[in-house]
Structure 1
Amino acid sequence: MPKNQSGGQRNGGPKRRQPAVALDEDNPIILAFTKYSNELTQKHDRHERIVKLSRDITIESKRIIFLLHSIDSRKQNKEKVLEEARQRLNKLIEVNFRAVALELRDQDVYQFRAAYSPGLQEFIEAYTYMEYLCSEDSQNEVKCVSDWQALQAVMQYVEDEPPKPKDEDGNEVDTALSTPAEESLKKFQFFVDPTEYVLGLSDLTGELMRRCINSLGSGDTDACMETCKALQHFYKGYISLNCQRARELWRKITTMRQSVLKAENVCYNVKVRGGEAAKWGATFDQKPADDVDEGFY
């Protein structure tokens, strides 16, 4: 005999459904949560739009870097390649970064930092690599690239002019008598985070290492030596930073160290083998010891 003879209900009968209570749309709590929901939806949509723009910037920046690596002293195509790369980089600044700046306008940029960080770092890598190649032909011994403030000064924008009003016949109305406040256009900018600049600039060393190896293949041993010196200067500056708690920067410095050793191995082959270094290549089979302390472990 079952212990409960009331159909399995402890209270002695089937449960009755409570009638649905109509929500009061004018309730302050309901209004507050509706507002929060709309804000989160708008933030999510803005985040997705910025991610798509950043993806386009990343893809185009990688293509520009690949274009810059096509420079060959034997083909004498440096000026042509640099001019094309400069135009494509300016287009990224005027179109893609302008669109991101419009999305971030009047917003907390650090809330959306993860959305545009990959594209910004890849762009900084391409932009500084183009500047380094441009400075190779200069008379100055020290090669230089733009700092984050110079890059910030480039990414300044002005609102588009509003369309002029038209009359019934479709002719533009003269607005010369409008007030100065109506004529003034608002300015805005894309914020270049100094941290993102440091991370993006550290990726430049990988391209310089490839530049060093490619120069060996084309027989331009002077470029090998100059590029190796630039890599050593970059590495010396980065290991002087206190970055024990900055995991991403520490990982990039470790990769930078590998690039410096590869470039030094190329220069060693050039010094030892001379003109035959290009035939031997730049093999790098040795790995640095784990117990070597460079000041950032």
Structure 2
Amino acid sequence: MPKNGSAGHRNNAPRKRQVPVAQLDEENPIVQQFRIYSNELTMKHDRHERIVKLSRDITIESKRMIFLLHSIDSRKQNKEKVLEEARQRLTKLIEVNFRAVALELRDQDVYQFRSSYSPGLQEFIEAYTYMEYLCHEDAEGENGTKSVSDWQAIQAVMQYVEQSSKPKEEPTEGEDVPAIAQDESPKKFQFFVDPTEYILGLSDLTGELMRRCINSLGSGDTDACLETCKTLQHFYTGYISLNCQRARELWRKITTMRQSVLKAENVCYNVKVRGGEAAKWGATFDQKPADEVDEGFY
């Protein structure tokens, strides 16, 4: 028996009646319209996931290109070889990965899918402009600075032509040959390069230039170190002239750019002020000092 001496607990709550599920009228125009909306959302989500996967591949390959470009060393004389390999791999990215993204975005509102390919595009612009800077490192621009491609130049590279899978058929008797040629003309499409994404990707280039400045000093190339620092200063001067108080991402990148400029300027300051105290690259230390040299201890 229960401890409270009662006859047990009985659930006296009224039971819920099972209401039969109403059958949807598929012929209802409202139901049909919501079916259309559901299919559109499903297709949009699937396209978004496919673009994200392609953008991830572009990001990974672009990072590898940047690491490859940082392997350039004046002591090894491998600049031309590394630049040629980087140029081929970046061209493959344009012809394969960005072409696939352009096909996904064809006849679509590109701004709806901007967040899905933005990281890959910015990383690609960083790698592409860094390769161009190294290619034109020995050449001076009109204003005495190194030159890289602008937004329109990168947009011109990403122009594609649709490949027709149908075999060419010979016109039969009585058919108009110009009409057939007009129908079979290849259609052109492009990958839209957002100018905002170009500015954000180009701002990341300053971090690689800062590493280039420090690596050049490590390899003994002080001239490249000083020239890279000047390029960083030109970039920073241009970016701080922008009115970007409301652009949080750009303001954050400009803050990071300022830190890169300060690091490069500190390195160049040490080269100018204390450069005479540093040992020249390739100096030998095998020779023992003479007996009459006073080294400061007894």
- If the length of structure 2 is used for normalisation, what is the TM-score? 0.85
Matches within 5 A, 1:23-172: 23-140=24-141, 141-164=144-167
Q: CA deviation at 1:95?
A: 0.3
TM-superposed deviation, 1:51: 0.2
Correspondence for 2:291: none
SS at match of 2:189: strand
Alignment of 1:263-282 (within 5 A): 263-274=264-275, 276-277=277-278
User: Which residue, 3, 9, 13 being the options, matches 1:8?
Assistant: 13
Deviation at 1:23, TM superposition (A): 1.3
- One-letter amino acid matched to 1:41: T
Give the conservation status (yes or no) of the 8 Å contact 1:217–1:278. Answer: no
Using the alignment, how far apart are the partners of 1:137 and 1:275 within structure 2? 26
Deviation at 1:132, TM superposition (A): 0.4
CA contact (8 A) 2:129 2:202 kept: yes
- Letter of the structure 1 residue corresponding to residue 53 of structure 2: K
Bigger radius of gyration among the two = 2
Taking only aligned residues, the RMSD between alpha carbons, in angstroms, comes to 2.1
1:174 alignment counterpart: 170
Assess if the C-alpha contact under 8 Å between 1:54 and 1:115 holds in 2.
yes
5+ long unaligned stretches in structure 1: 166-172, 280-297
Distance 2:160 2:218 in 1: 43
Q: Identify if the C-alpha distance between structure 1 residues 175 and 138 changes in structure 2 by more than 3 Å, giving closer, same or farther.
A: farther
**Change over 3 Å in CA distance of 1:229–1:85 after alignment to 2:** same
User: Separation in 2 of the partners of 1:41 and 1:6?
Assistant: 46
SS in 2 for 1:257: helix
Q: Is the 8 A contact 2:70 2:212 kept in 1?
A: yes
Q: How big is the shift at 1:243?
A: 0.6
Letter in 2 for 1:7: N
Paired AA for residue 111 in structure 1: Q
Aligned to 2:238: 237
Partner secondary structure for residue 179 of structure 1: helix
Structure 2: gaps spanning 5 or more residues: 1-5, 281-298
Q: Does the CA-based 8 Å contact 1:64-1:126 persist in structure 2?
A: yes
CA shift, 1:20, in A, is: 2.6
Give 4+ residue runs of structure 1 displaced > 6 Å after superposition. Answer: none
8 Å contact from structure 2 (residues 203, 254) kept in 1: yes
**Alignment partners' CA distance in 1, 2:113 and 2:72:** 36
Deviations 1:137-159 (A, max 9, x none): 22543210000011000000000
8 A contact 2:72–2:78 mirrored in 1: yes
1:294 aligns to what?
none
Distance in 1 of aligned mates of 2:201 and 2:11: 72
Q: CA deviation at 1:252?
A: 0.3
